[in-house]
Amino acid sequence: MPRFPGTSLRRSLTCSILAIIAASGPVFAQPEDGAIAALLSESGPDVALYDQHISTLANPFFEGRAPGTNGNLLAADYIERYFRDYGLSPAFPGLTGEASFRQPFPFGEKTTLKSQFVQYSTGAAPTTLTPGTDYVVTDYSGSGLATGPLAFAGYSIASGPDDYASYPEGIDLSGRVVMILRFEPLNDKGGSRFTQGQGWSPAAALDAKFKAAAERGAAGIILVSPPEADDERAKMLSPISSMNPVGGPLNIPVVMMTWEAGAALVQAAGGSLPELRAKADAAGGVTEFAGAKVLVAAEIEKTPIVTANVGGVLHGRGSLADQYIVVGAHYDHVGYGEFGSRAGARGRGVIHPGADDNASGTSGLLLLAKHLSERYAALPEDAEARSVLFLAFTAEESGLNGSQFYVRNMPFAKEAHTIMLNMDMIGRLTNNHLEVQGLGTAEGMEAIVSPLLDASGLDIARMPGGTGPSDHASFYRAGIPVLFFFTGLHEQYHMPEDVAALINREGAVRVVGLVEQIAMFFATRPEGLVYTRAERAGVAADSPGPTRLRVRFGIMPGDYSGSIKGVLVGGVTPGTSAEEAGLKEGDLITRWNGTPLDSVEAWMPLLAQHNPGDEVEVTFVRDGAEMKGKCTLKAAAMRGG
């Protein structure tokens, strides 16, 4: 329809805009007067409106929209404002009896550091350290004050490989402030002695280190990273909201100190931190410095995080009005990169705008709300139409929490949900290629929607499965048919570089146009749908979640649907085993050590069988030619190591 630009546009708005932006450079050289405005005007009001939404939601002002940030709340306000403007009704019963656009739920706790203090003395005037420069309070810290003599406990490993142990049997550290080292005993190249330099073993995990010191009576803990360690975290301080302790915080203060500050403390106490580290590399043991008195204090406040799904209803007509078409997209992202970032240490504390993931789908949701409200207003009085429930989910990035909360607390009967249409990462349409998943989740679904897919002019990969790492999976598992619209992974996925300037606005609007046609079709189709369990590539649709791996290969799969026989390489991380094997983006892995691979799910159990140091042969197809590569597998990074 004319509101959605098709393949016959005189030029690609997106490519033109991005070319102009790229040409303008960081010094703000001006493009031809009015060029971008002219292109937006030429493309029509839909692309202009989509541009407004994507540019707003992916603005750094929204802080990457992670639950617990003010930006997440502002994004919810933004979405609700437009739901109201388009005449939608609140979807949820409010706490005070009035209907609400919000479906709030608790989502963990927010940690706020209220005060901190570290000081030591060795008989002379006390030395007070500077927070943020010399030390930081960590996620493992509790509130409290610890004061006492210093003790050095090496890598704080209760029991490690080759009978390595930091603590003599029966040792009591009560009343001591204990300094411990991050990681584990190092070889001469800064790698692990335990794994022959192939990553860190479980002994490096911080949870176990801190627990070992606390169980032996430590009054407070100081963590120091050896700068020689072959790890990007070795020279970084890791403050609150960067470690995410598995077992929760301790009830004693825990700080992380720079190597320089830690070395100065040990030297003032009469020792040498480099020498102590060298001894700890060779064997365990505890060294006490009775003449050094250390004071560590922290005051930490925990407040509950409440986040909310945002939902609005476009009321239907006639006998179908009590049935619902759900159109959804998640509006959250990973905030400041404390979780979920692919950028590693450089991404911590840096805003991840999440333009494609998933400001792109949220912008599409708002555009659809406008279009469908206009189309419903134009329906004849005697028209039969289902209601449309527009849902913007929160906390998707941390495990589909928002959509799972919705399906467990539906404001309407489950049987009233005809189908769920999910848009997640629709902003990077390339070569006209779109993935549509869920065609096996209702009887005859593919035959029913194929005419609409064919008429879209898009090159559509049609996939049966209803699972996958997005919110439609929650509805599928609840017994509701789904369709999922996705333009594919890319290099900027979960990186700070996922910015609005890279969004293919024209392409996204074309995807939204297809979703609109499908939504209107199911909204006005007299017949309902019969849910079925989809099977994909011989793997049950409800296949188990990710397996805990001891090794890391280093690819980002380019397809999870099972429609492609093999493991499509969507990206290769530099310095990993995959790069050593010669793999590149676009390669299709077909065999793993000679075992045929049908899908990502089939590959995971094979990968889970390996240990660091194992050699594997990878068979893959590139440009139609079969190739082979060999590599040595490296250890997966241990959480908190």
pLDDT one-digit tens code per residue, 550-590: 778 888 777 655 556 888 887 787 778 898 899 988 889 99
As a whole number, mean pLDDT of residues 262-287 equals 96
Domains annotated on the chain, with CATH: 13-92+308-333+359-487+502-533 (3.40.630.10), 112-300 (3.50.30.30), 543-635 (2.30.42.10)
Rounded Cα gap, residues 55 and 68, in angstroms: 22
Average pLDDT taken over every residue of the chain: 88
Q: Are 177 and 221 in contact (CB under 8 A)?
A: yes
pLDDT in the model for residue 638: 42
Rounded Cα gap, residues 538 and 600, in angstroms: 12
pLDDT in the model for residue 545: 35
Number of H helices, E strands in the chain: 14, 27
Closest to 512 in 3D by CA, of 363, 314, 315, 316: 363
Rounded Cα gap, residues 604 and 208, in angstroms: 27
Least confident window among 377-381, 437-441, 560-564: 560-564
Q: Is the pLDDT of residue 11 over 60?
A: no
Q: pLDDT over 70 for what percent of the chain?
A: 89
As a whole number, mean pLDDT of residues 271-294 equals 95
As a whole number, mean pLDDT of residues 462-486 equals 93
Q: Is the pLDDT of residue 296 over 70?
A: yes
pLDDT in the model for residue 566: 87
What the block records as the tokens of 624 is: 């139609």
Of 368 and 346, the structure prediction assigns the larger pLDDT to: 368
pLDDT in the model for residue 410: 97
What the block records as the tokens of 101 is: 């656009």
As a whole number, mean pLDDT of residues 214-219 equals 96
pLDDT in the model for residue 513: 98
Q: Is the pLDDT of residue 495 over 70?
A: yes
**In sequence order, what are the beta bridge partners of 181?**
224
Tell me the H-state helices in 438-582.
Answer: 445-455, 472-477, 505-524, 577-580
